[in-house]
Amino acid sequence: MTTLKYRDVEIQQVDEVTWIIPPVGNMRVPGKIYASRKMMESIIKEDEAIKQVMNVATLPGIQKYSIAMPDIHWGYGFPIGGVAATDMQEGVISPGGVGYDINCGVRLARTGLQLQEIESKIERLIHVLFKQVPTGVGAAGAIRKLNQKEMRQVLAKGAHWAVEQGFGTAEDLEHTEENGRLSWANPDKVSKRAIERGQAQVGTLGSGNHFLEVQVVEEIYDADAAEALGLFPGQVVVMIHCGSRGLGHQVCEDYLRVFNTAVHKYGIQLPDRQLACAPIQSQEGQDYMGAMAAAANFAWANRQVIMHLAKNSFISALGISERDLDFHLVYDVCHNIAKVETHKINGETKEVCVHRKGATRAFPPDHPLTPEVYRHVGQPVIVPGDMGRYSFVAVGTWKAMEETFGSTCHGAGRVKSRHQALKEGKGKDLIGEMKKRGVVVQARGMRTVAEEMPWAYKDVSEVVDVMHKAGISKKVAKLRPVGVIKG
């Protein structure tokens, strides 16, 4: 059996793309990482993410494995690209396993347009989108500032609130994970400060790696699945990547303070204070679950409003009718979340709390939680890449249920820090360079563009191929960006 050494630990290669870290020290379960050998050598060499996989394996009540996807990189407590399921009675919930941007996720909408029909109008389209969808740190004003009562409705109803206000249709909800709402959300557990931070931010992109991209379907790998998803070669689609903005960040911050005390109260020993956690059934655990779900609902409402603004921007910029645009949501998935799900653990069906941080749910065909419209092909998985190359659409499989708690990768994963990317971009015409790649970019500031240039990221095709080879998610289509707005 092939092995690679990390510190004093021999990491074992099980097959072409699967690696096992045997339990050492206080690890309660093994670690499992999906990566090619080339990726694995890079992961070992470049950051502390493997140590974080091992640290997560020490959490009380963790089941089967501490898992990491090929887009793994260092994060807060958990690695980004990490998955862990904990027992509902004996296990814990950890904000580090969800992330600061609660329900950061991706939404893909399709149109009836072909790129050749609008190619000459891409610059105008991006200009109108940039004008209509607020971007950047502290972005606000997409719609009017909501009052406290309205905010509570957003936190309780999620995307349903947005549809009730005229931002989309009931069909959109059927094409959104959890129908765009976690029912156990508890707005009472969200702080006043968090609500204040969200009041003017519904319908805004924010900054960092968040974006709205106009893309073209460049390649189809699975014709039947693509047809089910309404995708065809040359088609214009829209991808939106963002989350719960300042509200979600504040919820995470609030509960990390609570949980830093809770670990002492409940006598939980941790190798890293960033893994601060509390028993799921404790008051602190239940309070966080309610607040996290409320923040997730805010994120779904946010993406729903952004999509509606994008649709209107297309109609305005291109001078076409809604009928000619033929705009529909393909799917919306979250990749920073913890949810109670039923999985098979050592032959026994049980409820567990699945933490997905930088990981996407990938449920299979014929699963009751796979949307009915896609039940014959599997739940859509949307995997964005960097803004200069491509993104992918895939579908979930039964092997994902067996091996990863129904989870797969979520994106490209950084290979350069923001500081390194800034340094590499210094003095370069970044917008001009993107234009040479065939991508029109509008952004609030050049700093974000430099941080998000293609050289800062892994090649997402390698990430998606690992999960395809592992049988965890199946490739359906490749999408190429032609225009992007960023903070």
Q: How many CB atoms lie within 10 A of CB 116?
A: 10
Can you give the residue ranges of every domain in the chain? 3-97, 105-486
Q: 């067996």: which residue's tokens?
A: 402
Backbone angles phi, psi at 339, to 5 degrees: -140, 150
Tokens of 106: 């991706």
Nearest Cα neighbor of 411 from 398, 427, 394 is 394
What stretch of H or E contains 327? none
Q: Is 432 helix (H, G, I), strand (E, B) or coil?
A: helix
Per the DSSP assignment, residues forming a β-bridge with 336 are: 357
* Rg of the chain in Å (alpha carbons): 21
Q: How many residues would you count in the chain?
A: 487
CA dihedral 377, 217, 485, 123 (to 10 degrees): -150
> Tokens 């389209």 identify what position?
125
pTM of this prediction exceeds 0.75: yes
**Residue positions annotated with a catalytic role:** 410
Q: Quick one: which of 394, 399, 374, 375 has its CA closest to 384?
A: 394
Give the DSSP letter of residue 193: H
Give the DSSP H/E element, type plus range, for residue 408: strand 407-408
Residue identified by tokens 């095709």 is: 461
Q: Characterize 448-484 residue by residue with b for buried, 16 or more Cβ atoms within 10 angstroms of its Cβ, and e for exposed.
A: bbbbbbbebbbbbbbbbbbbbebebbbbbbbbbbbbb
CB 57, CB 66: distance < 8 Å: yes
CB-side exposure of 213: number of CA atoms within 13 Å? 28
Q: What is the CATH number of domain 105-486?
A: 3.90.1860.10
Residue 218: name the closest of 204, 244, 237 by CA.
237
Per-residue pLDDT tens listing for the chain (487 residues): 699 999 999 999 999 999 999 999 999 999 999 999 999 999 999 769 999 999 999 999 999 999 999 999 999 999 999 999 999 999 999 999 999 999 999 999 999 999 999 999 999 999 999 999 989 888 888 898 999 999 999 999 999 999 999 999 999 999 999 999 999 999 999 999 999 999 999 999 988 899 999 999 999 999 999 999 999 999 999 999 999 999 999 999 999 999 999 999 999 999 999 999 999 999 999 999 999 999 999 999 999 999 999 999 999 999 999 999 999 999 999 999 999 999 999 899 999 999 999 999 999 999 999 999 999 999 999 999 999 999 999 999 999 999 999 999 999 988 888 889 888 888 889 899 999 999 999 998 888 899 999 988 989 999 999 999 999 999 999 999 999 999 7
Do the Cβ atoms of 337 and 58 come closer than 8 Å?
no
Contacts of 348 (CB under 8 A, 6+ apart): none
pLDDT of residue 425: 87
Whether the Cβ atoms of residue 379 and residue 367 lie closer than 8 Å to each other: yes
The pLDDT value given to residue 1: 63
Q: What is the dihedral of CA 221, 226, 232, 233, to 10 degrees?
A: -10
Residue 162 DSSP SS3: helix
DSSP string, 449-466: HHHTSGGGB--HHHHHHH
**What is the reported pLDDT for 137?**
82
